[in-house]
């Protein structure tokens, strides 16, 4: 799909730049940059805003599953509801598939997921299509678009004119702007060029992914006939959920896209998993996925799309600086944590809205030094606490059905009541409060960090005792789904009680230290399927 700003695209930069001065220059025209530009121009249509995009057409990328906060942003802030319903798929929550040595096929994999359809909107999106649509709307709102073009360098002048050297075809030139919004994604133009970029060395993860054709439909007639009891257990739809294959130290996503292609990829902790070394990246990915019974069933006849296979090491990073008097970093240009639970578009939402506030405050003549200091402090704290509360050492236990079931109920329940519900209850103002940075959120941060660390500790103990993954076969937990009702605090209380019981039953073994050990022991014979509520 072509952006309908073509009257800017075919001409060199000099054709439409009557002045080198802009109010705002956005580096990157994908979702984070285009969305920030669109919100800015809705608030201030008189802004002279230029978007510089390096590609002639935006391609598919990861970050294809929205969650509830980003769905609110896309629908009620950006106004994309009709586009999302027509060109993308409604997401049916999260679903997890576990296996051990006794799991012979899909029906014997332990399952966690919704028993019914989701009750709060979210979507599975083709990012190439979505990003181009948001970019088109930003141009329609008044943004100028230069593509394909590259930003060669940025000279920052606090409180003054920021200077950018741009490569446009065979020529390069300087332009200036009061504000630069860096939405360059993992390229992280400002963070890398100014020495702010930092790797998160506490979380050594790698991702390998591709788009595929021929991935089996989880709700297909074939599977319903082969595994009738398994098919009847779920009253909703499995196929349009984000299905996760879960293993020891790794997980994989399966996200359907409109038109039939499916995004499938794996993320693993390099300290816990050895990646296959023979064959092409796509062949190794398929081999890895087919080691899981559910993956073997779904991916048996799948073929990866040539040219759309990717590998990225050392996923997490952050910038030591998020904003200054004249610039702001948004989306992946600011930081990246982990794709598990699909937080990427939430991060785009929070960083984009915060950048808009800084620009608008300056345009109104407000003193912004204190606002910038708060912006940097809040996002630094948010990244650190988000990591410690949700992701640190999670790969130690995420492959164990029993431990992950508790973590999932607590993680999702607290997300729904503490974060996702806020914009629906209070409006857009809630999108300006970074996660875990406010005083009321501190007790929840400490709670989540504590149970996350305890579950990781128990997983290590289970490995040492040879009982890790003991319930990874023939168990099924299909819940009704969370809402924003206060009564949905009850499942959280039940999960907390389950955690307390687990501590008394086996957690005491790790209360007073102990070294990490890894051991492998044979598992007992298979049991009948057991459904849990």
Write down the mean pLDDT value for the chain.
92
**Other beta carbons less than 10 A from residue 407's beta carbon:** 21
Instruction: Tell me which residue of 383, 444, 443 sits closest to 414, measured CA to CA.
Output: 444
What's residue 223's pLDDT? 97
- Place 528 in a pLDDT band, splitting at 50, 70 and 90: low
Token match 């590998």: residue? 311
Q: Is the pLDDT of residue 127 over 50?
A: yes
User: Which residues fall within 8 angstroms of residue 4, CB to CB, at 6 or more apart?
Assistant: 136, 139, 140
Q: List pLDDT tens digits, range 418-467.
A: 999 999 999 999 999 999 998 889 999 999 999 999 999 999 999 999 99
* Torsion sign across C-alpha atoms 503, 505, 508, 509: negative
What's residue 525's pLDDT? 43
Q: Do residues 460 and 516 touch, judged by C-beta distance below 8 A?
A: yes
Cα distance from N-terminal residue to C-terminal residue, the chain: 45
Q: Do residues 48 and 16 touch, judged by C-beta distance below 8 A?
A: no
**Other beta carbons less than 10 A from residue 55's beta carbon:** 12
Q: Is the pLDDT of residue 488 over 60?
A: yes
Cα within 13 Å of Cα(209), Cβ side: 23
Q: Is the pLDDT of residue 15 over 70?
A: no
Tell me which DSSP letter residue 256 carries. Answer: E
H/E element holding 304? strand 303-312
Does the pTM surpass 0.85? The reply is: yes
Secondary structure class of 184 (helix, strand, coil): coil
Q: List pLDDT tens digits, range 142-164.
A: 999 999 999 999 999 999 999 99
Instruction: Tell me which residue of 46, 26, 61 sits closest to 135, measured CA to CA.
Output: 26
Q: Is the pLDDT of residue 218 over 50?
A: yes
C-alpha distance from residue 459 to each of 255, 275, 360, 423 (Å): 28, 22, 48, 36
Query: What average pLDDT score do residues 76-86 get?
Result: 98
Instruction: Tell me which residue of 379, 381, 364, 449 sits closest to 414, measured CA to CA.
Output: 449
Q: 148: cis peptide before it, omega within 30°? A: yes
C-alpha distance from residue 301 to each of 212, 283, 296, 422, 471 (Å): 10, 13, 9, 43, 29
Find the range with the poorest average confidence among 3-12, 37-46, 70-79, 284-293.
3-12
- Place 17 in a pLDDT band, splitting at 50, 70 and 90: very low
For 73, the token pair is 């942003």
User: Which residues fall within 8 angstroms of residue 533, CB to CB, at 6 or more apart?
Assistant: 477, 479
Q: List pLDDT tens digits, range 283-321.
A: 999 999 999 999 999 999 999 999 999 999 999 999 999
Q: Domains plus CATH for the chain?
A: 13-61+128-198+320-375 (3.50.50.60), 91-120+201-312 (3.30.9.100), 396-518 (no CATH)
Distance in angstroms (rounded) separating the CA atoms of residues 188 and 202:
20
- Place 531 in a pLDDT band, splitting at 50, 70 and 90: low
Secondary structure class of 418 (helix, strand, coil): helix
Instruction: Tell me which residue of 48, 44, 6, 35 sits closest to 138, measured CA to CA.
Output: 35
Distance in angstroms (rounded) separating the CA atoms of residues 131 and 3:
10
Token match 């990225």: residue? 312
What's residue 66's pLDDT? 97
- Place 170 in a pLDDT band, splitting at 50, 70 and 90: confident
Instruction: Tell me which residue of 339, 312, 318 sits closest to 206, measured CA to CA.
Output: 312
H/E element holding 180? strand 171-182
Strand spans (E) along 122-202: 123-124, 144-146, 150-155, 162-168, 171-182, 197-199
Instruction: Tell me which residue of 396, 418, 417 sits closest to 407, measured CA to CA.
Output: 396
């Amino acid at each position: 799909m072509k952006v309908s700003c073509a009257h800017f695209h075919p001409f060199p930069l000099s054709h439409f730049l009557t002045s080198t001065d802009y109010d705002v220059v956005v580096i990157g025209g994908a979702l984070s940059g285009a969305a920030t530009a669109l919100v800015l121009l809705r608030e201030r249509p008189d802004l002279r805003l230029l978007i510089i995009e390096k590609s002639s057409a935006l391609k598919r990328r990861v970050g294809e599953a929205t969650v509830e906060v980003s769905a609110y942003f896309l629908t009620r802030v950006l106004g994309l509801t009709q586009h999302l319903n027509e060109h993308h798929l409604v997401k049916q929550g999260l679903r997890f598939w576990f296996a051990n040595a006794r799991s012979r096929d899909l029906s014997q994999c332990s399952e966690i997921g919704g028993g019914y359809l989701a009750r709060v909107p979210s979507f599975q999106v083709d990012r190439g299509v979505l990003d181009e649509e948001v970019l088109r709307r930003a141009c329609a709102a008044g943004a100028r678009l230069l593509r394909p073009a590259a930003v060669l360098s940025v000279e920052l002048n606090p409180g003054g004119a920021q200077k950018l050297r741009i490569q446009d075809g065979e020529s390069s030139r300087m332009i200036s702007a009061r504000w630069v919004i860096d939405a360059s994604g993992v390229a992280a133009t400002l963070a890398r060029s100014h020495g702010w970029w930092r790797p998160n060395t506490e979380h050594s993860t790698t991702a390998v992914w591709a788009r595929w054709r021929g991935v089996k439909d989880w709700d297909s007639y074939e599977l319903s006939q082969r595994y009738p009891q398994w098919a009847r257990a779920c009253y909703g739809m499995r196929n349009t959920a984000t299905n996760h294959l879960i293993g020891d130290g790794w997980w994989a996503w399966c996200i359907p896209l409109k038109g039939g292609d499916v995004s499938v990829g794996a993320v693993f902790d390099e300290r816990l998993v050895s990646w296959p070394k023979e064959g092409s990246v796509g062949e190794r990915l398929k081999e890895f996925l087919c080691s899981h019974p559910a993956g073997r069933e779904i991916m048996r006849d799948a073929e990866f799309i040539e040219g759309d296979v990717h590998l990225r090491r050392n996923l997490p990073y952050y910038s030591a600086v998020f904003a200054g008097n004249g610039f702001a970093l948004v989306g992946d240009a600011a930081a990246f944590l982990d794709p598990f639970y699909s937080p990427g578009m939430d991060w785009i939402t929070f960083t984009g809205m915060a950048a808009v506030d800084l620009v608008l405050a300056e345009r109104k003549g407000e003193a912004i030094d204190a606002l910038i200091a708060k912006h940097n402090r809040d996002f630094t704290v948010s990244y650190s606490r988000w990591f410690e509360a949700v992701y640190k050492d999670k790969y130690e236990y995420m492959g164990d059905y029993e431990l992950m079931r508790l973590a999932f109920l607590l993680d999702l329940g607290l997300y729904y009541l503490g974060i996702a519900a806020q914009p629906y209850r209070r409006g857009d103002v809630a999108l300006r409060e970074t996660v875990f940075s406010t005083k009321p959120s501190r007790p929840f941060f400490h709670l989540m960090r504590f149970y996350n660390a305890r579950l990781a500790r128990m997983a290590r103990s289970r490995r040492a005792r040879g009982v890790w993954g003991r319930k990874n076969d023939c168990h099924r937990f299909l819940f009704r789904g969370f809402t924003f009702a206060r009564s949905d605090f009850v499942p959280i209380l039940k999960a907390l009680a389950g955690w307390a019981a687990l501590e008394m039953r086996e957690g005491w073994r790790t209360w007073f230290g102990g070294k990490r050990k890894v051991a492998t022991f044979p598992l007992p014979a298979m049991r009948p399927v057991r459904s849990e509520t």
